[in-house]
Amino acid sequence: MRYRRMLAAVLACLLLAGCGAQRTEPLAEEPAAEGAVIAYVPLDDRPDNVERVAYLAESLGYTLAMPEADLYSTKLDSQPANENGTQYGDMAALCEWVLEQEAAGCDRYILSMDQLLSGGLVNSRHTAETLTVVLPDGTEMTDLELMTALLGELARDENNHVWLLDSVMRLAPTTGYAGFGIEEYNALRAYGAEGRPALAGQDLTAEAIQADYRLGGDGREIPLADFGLTETVVEEYLSARGRKLALAERMMQTVQCGGYENFRVLIGIDDSSEEDSIQKNEIAYLRSLLREGDALLSGVDDLAFKAVTRLYLEEVGWEGASVSVRYFGGTEDRPACDYDYLPLTEIMEEHADFFGLTLDESTARPARTALEILVLTQPADETLKAACCKQLADALNECRSENRPVILIDASNGRYEASCYEKLTKETELGYLLSYAGFLDMAIVTGTALSHGVARYAFLQNGERTEAAERAFLRTLADSVIKDFCYKHVVREDLLAYIRNDLGGDPNNFWQPAIDRAAVQERLEAGMAKATADVVENLERSNFVSELEPMDLRGWGGIELTNYRFPWDRAFEIGMDIQLGAFTEPHREFLGFYYQ
């Protein structure tokens, strides 16, 4: 009782002295990014391919230029079509837009080949035939001709730096698109996951890979009846795979020619498997075509993050860094989920190599201001989940007290209860992180977290601090934490049940059948208002690293979340706008209370 009275007296003194934790009101107008322009053609219109890429670019001092959203949007079945009358992006208009940027003098490009040649990631999985486009001047071109002409035009300017993003087609196409359903998806994914004959050396060619698509690991044709598949469905599926492989092969052959030295290729592996699946020969073949500076890595929705970061690292002459990595959970020696093709440690190593990081898993503490990566894995022992969460929270607090910048990766695949995230919210300073990722599939979170964390770490060492860059950095961190802690683990679960049970709809497509979307929107806003309160309070009392050496901290200002939306009219992900207040002097903590 005496301790409580003393604590209350201390707190009262702090408050009377005007030292309570400050919250600045979000600004209506904020400074805009005015750096070098990157012309960017997104994979599609989901938040991770649009606003979060813009935040990352702006946090590094760039300005991201993008075409109108309708030109690269994807529409699921029964949803209103794009202005071009299709469910996919307008390839001709996008090509014209890129050429307009070139004519205006742009010299930095990040281009999704799935978008430019297929109208987006989803359509690339469903397109079995050669596509033909008609340019505004009436010129008609096939997809291959379009790629050759566009890349050739960009190669004419030796000052251009171009990143080409592509993907290895996943094991099955997207459900709810082009009439493709969940039963077909499950059957085709199982068929695609079957082992194929392993090709190597001179036998590893695009033609040989396609010839073996139908063969199992024993060299015999895989019976379609075993998977309940028809010849028509399988032929279309294999033709789409063959088309994507042929386009990727031509892209690599093009950049291997003279004049493409400033082009980089980054290929992502989409929805894979540990098994010797239909992807394995494709992966091996494309890897054999890579040049120095190119890469083929796990993950697709994080491709633009990786490209923006690598573009920046190369421009500032990044020489890499040695970083400490610690795992919590005990399953880092296996894939983080069923959709990845390598153990988590190997995925980490591949990405570390891509970003020039040397991973140190020793128990020795790194120096102050040295980068540390903390990774939460699936629990090896279900009874130790609470202990793992405590160890992680303790490690975060240790890094904070010793001024070590931190990247936090949640690769647990949803295996910890919401209480784990509540513990982190109550007991750690989330706004101190350099980056966080945990929302999307585990094949993506590693690249997402490392892209943002390494980018921020390098910027702190090399960049020129501006208010616009600082705000963009805080937005990308807030976006990631709030969507994972609050939406994925709390609000989305409520929405899934509400849409299915109360509205009789499909959470994966609000138009099939059509449901009361206004009611879903109202439920989303009410749920997020409640679920985000504690996390927003945590961020508002957090400090962030503004300079490394000497370490300089600044306090987060106020946060306002507005314009909640469902980009694809489905419950899987949301978009939102984040308004920030003016930064404050560092918040200081005493007995758990933050003050100025």
Reduced to 3 DSSP states, what percent helix, strand and coil does the chain have, rounded to the nearest 5? 45, 20, 35
**pLDDT per position as a tens digit, 84-109:** 999 999 999 999 999 999 999 999 99
- Of the listed ranges 5-9, 212-216, 346-350, the one predicted with least confidence: 5-9
Q: Where are the beta strands (DSSP E) in 329-478?
A: 357-360, 372-377, 406-411, 435-437
- For 30-317, CATH gives 3.40.50
pLDDT of residue 28: 63
Residue range 401-420: average pLDDT? 91
**Mean pLDDT over each residue of the chain, to the nearest integer:** 92
Residue range 218-234: average pLDDT? 96
Q: How far apart are CA 218 and CA 506, in angstroms?
A: 41
**pLDDT per position as a tens digit, 2-17:** 545 554 454 445 444 4
Residues of the chain with CATH 3.40.50: 30-317, 318-463
Residues whose CB is less than 8 angstroms from the CB of residue 176 and which lie 6 or more positions away in sequence, other chains included: 76, 77, 506, 508, 509, 512
- For 318-463, CATH gives 3.40.50
- Say yes or no to pLDDT of 22 above 70: no
Q: Where are the beta strands (DSSP E) in 418-540?
A: 435-437
pLDDT of residue 26: 74
- Say yes or no to pLDDT of 447 above 90: yes
Name the DSSP class of 483. Answer: I
Cα–Cα distance list, 467 to 31, 205, 461, 472 (Å): 7, 51, 17, 9
- Say yes or no to pLDDT of 495 above 50: yes
* Percentage of the chain lying above the pLDDT 70 cut: 94
- Say yes or no to pLDDT of 19 above 70: no
**pLDDT per position as a tens digit, 355-381:** 999 988 776 777 777 899 999 999 999
SS3 call for 342? coil
Tokens coding 556: 């987060």
Q: Max Cα separation, the chain? A: 85
Would you say 234 and 242 are in contact if contact means Cβ atoms under 8 Å apart? no
Would you say 299 and 268 are in contact if contact means Cβ atoms under 8 Å apart? yes
Residue 413 pLDDT level (bands cut at 50, 70, 90): confident
The residue ranking higher by pLDDT, 418 or 128, is: 128
Return the half-sphere exposure (C-beta side, CA atoms, 13 A cut-off) of residue 67.
28
| pTM score | 0.94
CA angle 309–244–199, rounded 5-degree value: 95
- Of the listed ranges 9-13, 60-64, 367-371, 547-551, the one predicted with least confidence: 9-13
Q: How far apart are CA 92 and CA 119, in angstroms?
A: 10
- Say yes or no to pLDDT of 529 above 70: yes
Q: How far apart are CA 345 and CA 130, in angstroms?
A: 39
pLDDT of residue 16: 44
**Matching residue, tokens 């499950």:** 186
Residues whose CB is less than 8 angstroms from the CB of residue 232 and which lie 6 or more positions away in sequence, other chains included: none
Q: Is the dihedral of CA 518, 520, 524, 527 positive or negative?
A: positive
- Residue 543's CB is within 10 A of a number of other CB atoms, namely 22
